[in-house]
Chains A and B, each alone.
Chain A
Amino acid sequence: MYDVPQHDAGRLRRLILTAAPPFLIPLVPLLLVVVFRDRLPDRAYVPDWAPDQASGWSQWLSTHIWPVGLFEVVYFSMFMHYRRWPELQRWVAAFSFGMSVAMAATSGFAVAALIDSDGPVPQPSWAGPAEVAIALLAGIGAWRLAGPLPPAPAAVGAPPPGVPVLPLAPGQRAVYTASTWQRLVLLQGAAFLGLAWFSAFNLSRSWPGTAMAGLVGVFLVLQARTVLRIDGRGVEVSLPWLGGLRRALPYDAVQFASVRPRGSRTGPGGLVGGSKGWGYVSGRGPVLALRLTDGREFLYSTRDAETAAALVNASLARARGAAGC
């Protein structure tokens, strides 16, 4: 039995960097309104509201409070979903910082534009690009603050008895390849693209939500076709439609390989995955399952999963000096 390794150094720091930024959403406009109260018009003539329906400042500020609770729930759920994966926690922290700063900047620019004005004023042309630039800088800053990450533990033992092992002669070299279509991922991507289209024309003029839905949709669609390769260097999954984007698993990060029966698991979340693991499971046919040293699993549906697992175990045994491989 393998222990789940502790791989959580710096988790509290990344959690704080994830949870704190949404509070900027109400704080920035609140501070601006408090500081410039005497130089602002009586009503909040902000771009998203028609001038004749503009509310008072207190009412407008109160609309910034409920998103904090929503984002806290979303980001905390994402963080816990990736609780065993520091790399993804770092991405969540960067995303939380970037999105929160972008939303705070949107409100901040709207208030700043109204300083010393008596009524509605158009947003300056530089406001949009400035929001993007500030969001990027905030995301990059949070990314740097969330690092460095703890190193993943390396496996040293040979595969346990009972797992399939390919009988490879000492001089033999082998490569295993397989490709799959992920129909569920394709449908999810299409749904996100539909949501982005609907949001762009019907729901909101705010760009971050629409852009994120569109980006997620494109990212999912481009993940629909995957290629698995196993050779002497390790295991690699690539996305040919996504410019050959790939994720490699060196043998140091693998404890052993096994085969799961047909339909034994639902999809583990693609190239990103979650705390339980990552990979591509189509729900049909056997599944190659790799136990990783960080306590997670890599899963991949392939018709000849037995051969794939046998090659991984043979390569592990060879790399770790076990006899007979």
Chain B
Amino acid sequence: MSTQVFRTATLFLFGLFFLVPIAAMFEFSTRGNGINASRTWAAWTSILTYPDLTDAIKASLALAAITSVAMLFLLLPTMVWVRLRIPAMKSVIEFICLLPLTIPAIVLIVGLSPIYYWIALNVSDDILTLAFGYVILVLPYAYRSLDAGLSSIDVKTLTEAARSLGASWPTVMWRIIVPNIPVAILNALLLSVALVLGEYTFANLLNYTNLQVAIALLGRANAGVSISTAVASLLFAFVLLMVISFVGRRRTPSLGAAATDPQYLTAGQRT
């Protein structure tokens, strides 16, 4: 009973804290001009008339997909490998995965632009090359989420059992590790997609037009539009993340067998 009260109270209070500012933004975006002007949807309807927005949305969605997939393929096998074979490297990987957050993007871009210059001249000038930088930007968040997930399962025993039964490494990753950390992977994906959709600085300083840059440009039309586009972008990202979280649902296996395993009753070794 008390957990119910705790739960309801907590969710209600936090809900207020997070939703009230957004409600304030929404309220502002429907204001008319001048004192005692009537409410208007003009700031919202004008979003639909902006021609370049669809290109920017497509680019950002493609970037989100590429970044999330690349992040998983780069990070998850490495993290599992380090846990199993080179535990001493854990702190090094941890520090590297925190580096993108140590210095602000505006100065990181100073170091990244020579590399992007080389890429633009020798590989491609397309906006999708932003994915190279975005994978780096999502590393801190994805690492932390995946680390929490991997810490809560016994990676060593699971992989040893699988390997001793003849499973290859790809099978171990895909059919043993991944299904056992669904929440961690989902949250890493959610954070990556949300980051790419909300990313402004890198794209802006490299003169690419992604979703947020297009919104910033559109927002200079007038005050109401600058806020309505921001709220619309939040809603868009929210709907997309909900869709992703529903797709993830089908992959969740039943953990019944593992949960009743006596080994998990002891506060045992954390790998």
Q: Is this pair of chains taken from one and the same complex?
A: no
